[in-house]
Amino acid sequence: MIFMDICVGSSCHLTGSHEIVELIQNEVTKNHLEDDVVMSGCFCLGKCNRAGVSVRIGEEIYTGITRDNFREFWDKTVMTAIKNSEM
């Protein structure tokens, strides 16, 4: 199981945190990962940039997540984190 915090601070809010939350929820539902992903919103992670949203998985913070690079973020980062958490 992994814990994901999606930043909903003002900068990330402006660059689309709501959209990223929706995209994550869709993937979780589609892939039946409800028992593998715990998602919550959080305030500023101190990594604001204007490129996209910041997401923390465990202790790692990933920045600049957008609709355009979400697929890669999900496939490479999130799915790897889920697989590693099962070991």
Residues that bind ligand FES (CB under 6 A): 7, 9-12, 44-45, 47-48, 54
For 51, phi and psi rounded to 5 degrees?
-85, -25
Q: How far is the CB of 35 from ligand FES (least distance, A)?
A: 27
Of the two residues 54 and 57, which places its CB atom closer to ligand FES in the complex? 54
Q: How far is the CB of 62 from ligand FES (least distance, A)?
A: 11
User: CB–CB of 86/1 below 8 Å?
Assistant: no
Q: Show the beta-strand stretches assigned E in 1-87.
A: 2-7, 37-42, 53-57, 60-65
Of the two residues 33 and 47, which places its CB atom closer to ligand FES in the complex? 47
